Each structure stands twice: as C-alpha cells, then as structure tokens.
Amino acid sequence: MRKSFVLCFVFLFSFLFQSCSSLDPDESDINAMALKAYNEVKTQAKISNNAKWTAMLNRVAPRVAKASGENFEWEWMLIDSPEVNAWCMPGGKMAVYTGIMPVLKTEAALAAVLGHEVAHATKRHGKQSYARAIKGNLAGLVIGVTTAVGGQMLCKSESCRLLTGLGGAAAGFAIAFFDHKFSRENETEADKIGQEYMARAGYDPAESIKLWERMGAASGGKAPPEFMSTHPSDVTRKQNLSKWLPEAQGIYTKSPQKYGLGENI
Ligand SMILES: [Zn+2]
C-alpha cells in the first residue's frame, strides 16, 4: 500500500515536472530536445549512399554554417527519401532529403535552401514556434509530452509520429518542430538571412530567386515542403528576394571564395 502510494507520487511529480519544464524551455532545453530528436531520426532514417550528393552536402553545409557566424555543434545528414524537404533543428542539426535534390538543380540552390533553414535556427524561430504550439494546444501538448500514444494522435506528419515514440519533452518538441509551422514573419526573415548566408558562403545569391521558381513549379498539387509552408506568396517572395539582391550581391563580392552556381545536380 505504502509502496504504491510512493510510486503514485513519483509518477505525479514526474508528470508535473515534465509538463512544466517543457512549457517554458530555455535555449539549452530546446537544444537538448532537438539533439535527442535528431539522433532518433538519424537512427531510424535511411542515410543516402549517393556519393555525389553526399559530397556536395559535405561541401555546402559547413560553408553555410560558417557563414552564419553561429557557434553551434553543426551536424548534417542526407536522408534517402522521396520527400521534397530539408530542415535545421535548433542548435544546428540539419537534414536534407534526396527528394529535393533534383528540384534544386544546382549546388548554389542547395546553399540557398540550407541558408534558409539555418536562418530559422540562428534566429531562434524554433522557440517561438514551440511557444505558439503550446499556447494553441496546451492540453494536447501535455498529453503529448507525457505519453507517446497521446503524442502520436497529435501528429500530422510521419517525422513527428516517429519522434513521439521518445515520449517526454522530446515528443512535445517533435510536435512543435515538424507539425507547427513557422510564422510568415519568420519565413520572410529566413528568406532574407538565408540569401545573405549563401552569398557569404560564396554562392551566387541570384540563384535564390530561381530556386523558389523551381520549388513553386515542383510543388504543384503536392503537400508543400517546410520552406513553402506559411509562405509569403510566390510573388511576394520573389519581389522580396529581388529587392534584397543588391545587398546580398555586395556580400557575395566581398566573399573570399566564389563558387558561382557550383556543380550541377
Ligand atoms: Zn522556412
């Protein structure tokens, strides 16, 4: 009788602790959740054995990471999947899906996508999106973070369902990161900063405009990838990127290494 009372207390305490600590996470909490989620994806996902694309990602990712000036513990992987997607978790953990590569067409376009995703991480958009997810679905999130089953029910994407198996705060993070979209303001900021990052990394920033044209054409009818979601309309996005281009070109001019469009994909 006494033992079950203690167990019950321990359970209740851990429930409250998990819920509360994940309601107002600081940066190290967020990064720890992201790292746990990233390692789980790495374990579960099929890593691509495409040597050409892997070499390309191994060139571009560190250049963009360095251009951001952020001192993250950067990591990246190329996931073998038809999904047209890429992301960078808080703390600098990136993934690119092979499905996006034929759409990109150039190495510079890969730099543009990574620039955009890395900007979400350096501008701490994940924390804002996490906060909005909690506000929007407090009860659901509490269930989500405390039981894997509850989390699964809340997930819309496959990536999210995969990670709720972890339970705890990492499950809550998965729901916020994969299923809760960044705001339109965040997307616009990521477009601007991403264009700067690709330019500083040595890639022709004009390619960012062509990239979004190709992405728009490729996503016709299908579910949009992360960076097309809550997007400023294609027209607005193109207008913005064109407006910012002279500034980005100034950065590109000063870049010590210039790769232009890089290799074709
Ligand atoms: Zn985005």
- The reported pLDDT for the residue numbered 19 is 46
Instruction: Give the distance (Å) from ligand 1 centre to CA of residue 24.
Output: 23
Instruction: Give the distance (Å) from ligand 1 centre to CA of residue 158.
Output: 18
- The reported pLDDT for the residue numbered 215 is 83
- The reported pLDDT for the residue numbered 58 is 98
What distance in Å separates the CA atoms of residue 155 and residue 178, rounded to the nearest whole number?
9
What distance in Å separates the CA atoms of residue 129 and residue 76, rounded to the nearest whole number?
22
- The reported pLDDT for the residue numbered 156 is 76
**What's the pTM value of the predicted model, to 2 decimals?**
0.84
So where are the chain's domains? 39-125+182-254
Buried b (16+ CB within 10 A) or exposed e, 180-200: bbbeeebbbbbbbbbbbbbbb
**What is the pLDDT tens value at each position of the chain, 265 positions in all?**
444 444 444 344 444 444 444 556 788 888 888 898 899 889 989 999 999 999 999 999 999 999 999 999 999 999 999 988 899 999 999 999 999 999 999 999 999 999 999 999 999 988 777 777 666 665 455 555 555 666 667 777 777 777 777 766 677 777 778 776 788 889 999 999 999 999 999 999 999 999 988 887 776 645 455 555 556 677 788 899 999 999 999 999 999 999 999 999 9
Between the alpha carbon of residue 27 and those of residues 3, 18, 69, 90, 183, the distances in Å are: 37, 16, 18, 9, 19
φ and ψ of 69, to 5 deg: 70, 5
Q: Which of 117, 187, 207, 226 is catalytic?
A: 117
Instruction: Sort 211 into a burial class: Cβ within 10 Å, 0-12 / 13-18 / 19+.
Output: buried
C-beta of residue 84 within 8 angstroms of C-beta of residue 229: no
Element (H, E) at 77: strand 75-79
What distance in Å separates the CA atoms of residue 74 and residue 35, rounded to the nearest whole number?
11
Instruction: Give the distance (Å) from ligand 1 centre to CA of residue 219.
Output: 15
**141 Cα distance to chain centroid:** 20
What distance in Å separates the CA atoms of residue 199 and residue 215, rounded to the nearest whole number?
20
Is 247 labeled as catalytic in the residue annotation?
no
Instruction: Give the distance (Å) from ligand 1 centre to CA of residue 194.
Output: 10
- The reported pLDDT for the residue numbered 20 is 46
